[in-house]
Amino acid sequence: MIENIVRVMLVEDNLGDALILSEMLKEIYDNHFKLVNYKRLDEGLKHLNEDFDVIFLDLNLPDSHGIITFKTMNKNAPDLPIIILTGLNDEDLAINIVSEGAQDYLVKDQIDKQMLSKSIKYSIRRKNIENQLQISIEDKELLLRELHHRVKNNLMIISSLLNLQSTYIKDEESKKIFKDSQNRARSMALIHERLYQSTDLKRIDFGDYIRTLTNDIYHTYVMDTNLIKLNVDVEDIRLDIDISIPLGLILNELVTNSLKHAFPQGSPGEIDIILHTQDKKYLLEVKDNGIGFTEDIDYKNTDSLGLRLVTNLTDQIEGEIEFNNKLGTSFKIIFKDEKFE
Ligand SMILES: Nc1ncnc2c1ncn2[C@@H]1O[C@H](COP(=O)(O)OP(=O)(O)OP(=O)(O)O)[C@@H](O)[C@H]1O
Ligand SMILES: [Mg+2]
Query: What CATH number does residue 324 fall under?
Result: 3.30.565.10
Domains identified in the chain, total number: 2
Query: Ligand 1: distance of its center to the CA of 191 in Å?
Result: 24
CA 211 to chain centre: 19
Task: Give a yes or no: residue 298 inside a domain.
Answer: yes
Domain extent at residue 263: 204-341
The whole model's pTM is what? Answer: 0.76
CA separation for the pair 42, 73 (Å, rounded)? 9
Express each pLDDT in 175-223 by its tens digit.
Answer: 989 999 999 999 999 999 998 888 888 899 999 999 999 999 999 888 8
Nearest CA to ligand 1 atom 9: 257
**pLDDT score for 20:** 94
Question: Which of 261, 305, 332 for a ligand 1 pocket mutation test, highest count of atoms within 8 Å of Cβ?
Answer: 261
340 pLDDT above the threshold of 70 = no
SS3 call for 274: strand
The verdict on 231 and 334 lying in the same domain is yes
Q: Are residues 220 and 331 in the same domain?
A: yes
The finding on whether 306 has its CB within 6 A of some atom of ligand 1 is yes
Q: How far is the CA of 188 from the centre of ligand 2 (A)?
A: 16
**Number of C-beta neighbours around residue 38 at 10 A:** 19
| Residue with CA nearest ligand 1 atom 17 | 306
Asked, for residue 91, whether it belongs to a domain, the answer is yes
Strands in 269-278's sheet, in edge-to-edge order, are 228-234, 269-278, 281-288, 329-335, 320-324
**Nearest atom in ligand 1 to 177's CA:** 26
Calpha distance 125→123 (Å, rounded): 5
Give domain status of residue 163, yes or no: no
By mean pLDDT, which of 9-13, 180-184, 318-322, 332-336 is the weakest? 180-184
pLDDT at position 88 is 87
Which atom of ligand 1 sits closest to the CA of residue 329? 1
Same domain, 331 and 217: yes
**Phi–psi pair at 276, nearest 5 degrees:** -155, 175
Whether ligand 1 lies within 6 angstroms of the CB of 257 is answered as yes
Question: How far apart, in Å, are the Cα atoms of 219 and each of 123, 212, 225, 231, 298?
Answer: 59, 11, 8, 14, 29
Per-residue b/e over 151-176, b at no fewer than 16 CB within 10 Å? bbeebbebbeebeeebeeeeeeeeee
How far is the CA of 80 from the CAs of 85, 122, 126, in angstroms? 15, 13, 10
Atom of ligand 1 nearest to the CA of 328: 3
CATH of the domain at 43: 3.40.50.2300
Mean pLDDT of 330-337: 94
pLDDT tens track for 129-159: 999 999 999 999 999 899 999 999 999 999 9
